[in-house]
Chain A
Amino acid sequence: MTLLTEATDVFAATESVGRCIVVFLARRLPLTCGAFGTSEKNRVCEVLRTLQAEGWLMSVRAMFDPETRTEPSAFDAGFAHAVDMVGAFEAPSLSAALVGTVRLERAGWSRQFATEWLLGQREFATVEARGEAVDRQWGFVALWEWNDAWSAATRKERHDYDAECDVAFNGDLALGMNIAGRHRLDWASSWHHIGIWEAPSLTAVDLAMRGHEAVADFKFTTSRHFIGRLRPLTEMIEADNVEA
Chain B
Amino acid sequence: MSAIWIHYARPRPHWYSLGDAARTARQTEWKTVTDSSVAAGGACLGRYHIRGQQDFETVEIWRFPDAEAAFAHWAALTQADYGEFNAFANNIGLSMEGMP
Q: Which residues of A does B touch, CB under 8 Å?
A: 1-2, 4, 93-95, 97-99, 102, 119, 121, 146, 148, 151-152, 186-190, 192
Asked if residues B12 and A148 are in contact (CB atoms below 8 Å), the reply is yes
Which B residues are in CB contact (< 8 Å) with A102? 94, 99
The answer to the question of B30 belonging to the interface, with a C-beta cut-off of 8 Å to chain A, is no
Beyond A1-B75, A99-B1, A148-B14, is A186–B92 a contact (Cβ under 8 Å)?
no
Min CB distance, B77 to chain A, in Å? Answer: 10
The answer to the question of B19 belonging to the interface, with a C-beta cut-off of 8 Å to chain A, is no
Interface residues of A, dominant DSSP: helix
Asked if residues A190 and B1 are in contact (CB atoms below 8 Å), the reply is no
Contact mask B70-95 → A, CB, 8 Å, 1/0?
11001100110001110111111010
Q: Interface range on chain B: under 10, 10 to 19, 20 to 34, or 35 or more?
A: 20 to 34
Min CB distance, B12 to chain A, in Å? Answer: 5
Asked if residues A186 and B13 are in contact (CB atoms below 8 Å), the reply is no
Which A residues are in CB contact (< 8 Å) with B79? 2
Report, nearest first, the 7 A-B pairs whose CB atoms are least far apart.
A190-B89, A188-B92, A94-B67, A187-B74, A152-B14, A151-B84, A187-B71
Extra inter-chain contacts (4) besides given A95-B66, A97-B67, A148-B14, CB under 8 Å: A2-B79, A148-B13, A148-B87, A187-B90
Min CB distance, A136 to chain B, in Å? Answer: 31
Which B residues are in CB contact (< 8 Å) with A99? 1, 94
Specify the chain B residue showing the minimal Cβ separation from A187: B74
Which A residues are in CB contact (< 8 Å) with B71? 94, 121, 187
